[in-house]
Amino acid sequence: MIEFEYWQLLFFPVFFGLGWAAARIDIRHLVKESRALPRSYFQGLNFLLNEQPDRAIESFVDAVKVDPQTIELHFALGSLFRRRGETERAIRMHQNLVERDDLPQDLKLQALSELGQDYLKAGLLDRAEEVFNKLRDSAMVKEAKRNLLEIYQLEKDWEKAIAIAAELPDIATQKEIAEYYCELAAAEMIRSRRDVASGYLKTALERNRKCVRASLLQGDIEAQQDRIEEAVACWQRIEQQDPTYLALVASRLLDAFRKLARRDEGLQLLRGYLEHYHSLDLLDVVFQLVLESEGADAAYCLVRDELKRNPTLLGFDKLIEARLLVAPPETRADLDLAKSIVQGYTRRLARYRCDNCGFKARQFYWRCPACGGWETYSPKRTEEFDLTP
């Protein structure tokens, strides 16, 4: 057992005294620092507490003018200006930091990175690219490459995007790189350089064997050269890649089977797709094909049965359209009125929606124009998207 001596109690007052002295020194230091801060700094804090952000920003700007050494406040204001869309003020704030000779190297690199993001936000892509290229040989190399990848995508410089994506395996996926090759292929198709385009699409499928867009474009190339059988094979391959995208090639398949004079075979194939992979766009194509092949009554029955299986307002709109084809003249006025009322509600439902950010558009995009995500749009309409389990 440890023996305790009474004389050791003398240490307690000494320790207490030392702690009190240290606390006094810290308090004095804190008071000294607070007195050194500009008065406008505390005014800014007060405005923030009173939910007056605009007046708070002006006070912080005044504080920076009074005391240029407030580095963190410079960074905070610059980022705030950029988020608010005041890119000119953000650029000036970060340029001032970059040009300071007394700034440590790590903070100067941070300021340069912030300046590059300001240029990117302002749409000054050339300046942003120049800044981030300077940072490729620094400790911020990964951040610089990530921003360069975004710049090359905005500039549609897909070859540079592919090159830098190879250096960012944890950021750029093989699915995205396959899309870059599809973009190159699409550009070559416009120039009628089909062989070059086919080479890019082959590489896209090597990067991502489930790249639906590559199969779709390859089918388009075959169809342009009147190789209809080969085109159909490419488009049918989408069922193994992702059957939800079959709606995008349904009209292509319809045209192909018409050219082959095998409409019945095409109808059987598309009806099978509709039965297994419900889609309103697919229903539109099958409806048209049944109307041509079997008449208005059969087309009406098709839509009615499909609506029973998958009840949607867009499907009901299609049912009214089909009913108009077989309705007696005395009831068509009422059906036209019902259709116009229903269409007033279905316009906002007949849109595509990004799975990532929720942005809605009337047309389908391979890359979301809002968040920049690749293959984030479902080929289903908004109403179908909401009903999907």
Please give the radius of gyration of the chain, using alpha carbons only, rounded to the nearest integer: 32
Q: Is 301 annotated as a binding residue?
A: no
Q: Is 368 annotated as a binding residue?
A: yes
Q: HSE on the CB side for 23, CA within 13 Å?
A: 6
Classify residue 214 by burial, with Cβ atoms within 10 Å: 0-12, 13-18, 19+.
Answer: buried
Eight-state DSSP code of residue 377: B
The single-letter code of the amino acid at 94 is H
- What residue has token string 């994506």? 165
Size (the chain), residues: 389
Spatial contact of 271 and 286, defined as CB atoms under 8 Å apart: yes
Residue of 174, 180, 189, 122 whose CA lies nearest to 372: 180
Q: Which residues sit opposite 352 in a β-bridge?
A: 361
Q: Which residues contact 168 (CB under 8 A, 6 or more apart)?
A: 142, 145, 146, 149
Eight-state DSSP code of residue 68: T
CA 383/CA 338 separation, integer angstroms = 19
Count the Cβ atoms, other than its own, within 10 Å of residue 1.
3
The pair phi, psi for residue 244, each rounded to 5°, is: -65, -20
* DSSP letters for 309-363: HS--HHHHHHHHHHHHHHS-HHHHHHHHHHHHHHHHHHTTTS-EEBTTT--EESS
Question: Residue 177 corresponds to which tokens in the numbers above?
Answer: 């790189």
CA 40/CA 74 separation, integer angstroms = 14
N-to-C CA span, the chain:
70
Residue list, annotated binding site for Fe cation: 354, 357, 368, 371
Residue list, annotated binding site: 354, 357, 368, 371
